[in-house]
Amino acid sequence: MLKFFRRKRSLQLFSLISPGGLWILLFFNLPLLIVLFISFVERGRAGSIKLPPVYTLENYRQLFNACSSQFSGPNCDPFLYISIFGHSARIALVVTFWCIALGYPLSYFISRQKQVWRDALMILVIIPFWTNFLVRTYALKEVLATEGLLNSFLMGVHLINQPLDLLFNEFAVNVGLIYGYLPFAILPMYASIEKFDYSLMEAASDLGAPPWRAFLRVMLPMTLPGVIAALVLVFVPVVGAFITPDIMGGGKIEMIGTLINRQFGVSRNWPFGSAMSLILMLMVLIGVTFYFRSSSEETRRAM
């Protein structure tokens, strides 16, 4: 029996792939198809969908024209949802930028330490992963709150007289997201930078390149796969984030994630939520495909 099994290579492969494959099929592909289906039908009265299903493109139309719904009032902004998409993309870009801008020098710094220190510092970077994300976000909220750690400190040393409004705005959302996703940026960039051969910087310097030009012309292009990996790993989850904007924005900052979350919650509009999810997924997919196409083999390996 075992012998037969070993001889049939295809059978062997099948047996290796099938558990994971089945899992993905059942819990990813199938639900995705359900979401696709829901996005093309009318909503039911008490949430869920109307049965028997009535097919419609209204959910997608609503995305591009927020006033197409019969419930929209006279002050309705037809581009509301588009602007939320734009807003989310902007926050995601800002967060991605800062994660890379802060993470790159840090990765560089860590990679230049002795082996023992490198490992210790990387563990410090990874430790937050072991703490519940919600707990971390609430802790950060306590730091930024009106009577929180930062304001108390600044008032205590008489740098300010009035507490600063640090919470429940876009700034807070950005800080929360940068804090949460920085390790995702550091890990791939560190992997790239750690492999970088610094004798190439000496060669550049030897050939007359001042440090900044050597960096731009040699080190940055060679560590770019790590940067692109960081970009994808941060941008994709951040653009759809909903817990952090909810907690740090205090319900005042709307992002795609919070919007979708609401469709399945209080708004009870599953079909519209599904349509937005799919559009978001499509956008991310196009973006990532574009990056993979334009980037090299190394990028894919860095991922």
Partner 1 sequence: MTNEFAVEMRDVVKQFITPEGGILAAVNHVTMQIKDGEFFSLLGPSGCGKTTSLRMIAGFELPTEGSILIHGKEMSQVPAFQRPVNTVFQQYALFPHMTVEQNIGFGLEMKGVSRSERSRRVSEALEMVRLPGMEMRRPKQLSGGQQQRIALARALINKPEVLLLDEPLGALDLKLRKEMQLELKTLQREVGITFIYVTHDQEEALTMSDRIAVMSKGVALQIGKPEEVYERPANKFVADFIGETNFIDGVVKEQDGSAVEVELAGTGTVCVESSRTFTNGQPVSVAVRPEKLRLNSEVQDGNNLTGRVEDVIYIGTDTHYGVRFAGGQKVRIREQNVNQGYHQLSNQGDEVTVSFTRNSPRILTD
Residues that bind partner 1 (CB under 8 A): 197, 199-200, 202-211, 213-214, 217-218, 221-222
Helix (H, G, I), strand (E, B) or coil at 208: coil
Nearer to partner 1 by Cβ, of 13 and 220: the residue is 220
Length of the chain: 303
Question: Is residue 107 within 8 Å of residue 190, measured between CB atoms?
Answer: yes
**Helix (H) and strand (E) counts for the chain?**
16, 0
Q: How far is the CB of 203 from partner 1 (least distance, A)?
A: 4
Helix (H) or strand (E) holding 303: none
Nearer to partner 1 by Cβ, of 225 and 249: the residue is 225
Q: How far is the CB of 31 from partner 1 (least distance, A)?
A: 42
Nearer to partner 1 by Cβ, of 186 and 214: the residue is 214
Nearer to partner 1 by Cβ, of 132 and 199: the residue is 199
Beta-carbon contacts of 130 under 8 Å, excluding residues fewer than 6 positions away, are none
Closest CA to 95 of 156, 181, 9: 181
Q: How far is the CB of 297 from partner 1 (least distance, A)?
A: 12
Q: What is the dihedral of CA 208, 213, 218, 222, to 10 degrees?
A: 170
Q: How far is the CB of 228 from partner 1 (least distance, A)?
A: 14
Nearer to partner 1 by Cβ, of 169 and 205: the residue is 205
Q: How far is the CB of 222 from partner 1 (least distance, A)?
A: 6
- Report how far residue 248's alpha carbon sits from residue 113's, in angstroms, rounded to the nearest whole number: 35
